[in-house]
Structure 1
């Protein structure tokens, strides 16, 4: 589930909320209780783990290890 950043336009309180895509946006500020929360634009954060899934998953033969260069065994 994505993490959304919100800021209250009344008291400038900022918070993060984990919500589903289908959830309605938050409206009430937990700090001042005013219905003034607005979503902020933020950078998505994610990490690609593994041993080169982007390079090796769909390639075969000599094309399989392009990042290895001219390694000799």
Structure 2
């Protein structure tokens, strides 16, 4: 079954690099934590990747706007 993960609401100014940042963040999560074993694990990793893309869209400049892991956690504190 598909798992749907909503993108966060952001104040986008430049979508350059959004797709690349989603994939880069997802790959980084998979390398750091390994392959997910449950849908909730996929949900968490994809949600993080979408938050990274959201932050990239809030800054002009595409690749130079790539946030650090700490910046993502600060911006989207749960």
Give TM-score, length-normalised by structure 1: 0.23
Larger radius of gyration: 1
Tell me which of the two structures has the higher relative contact order, counting C-alpha pairs closer than 8 angstroms and 6 or more residues apart: 2
TM norm structure 2: 0.22
Query: Relative to total residues, which structure has the larger strand share, 1 or 2?
Result: 1
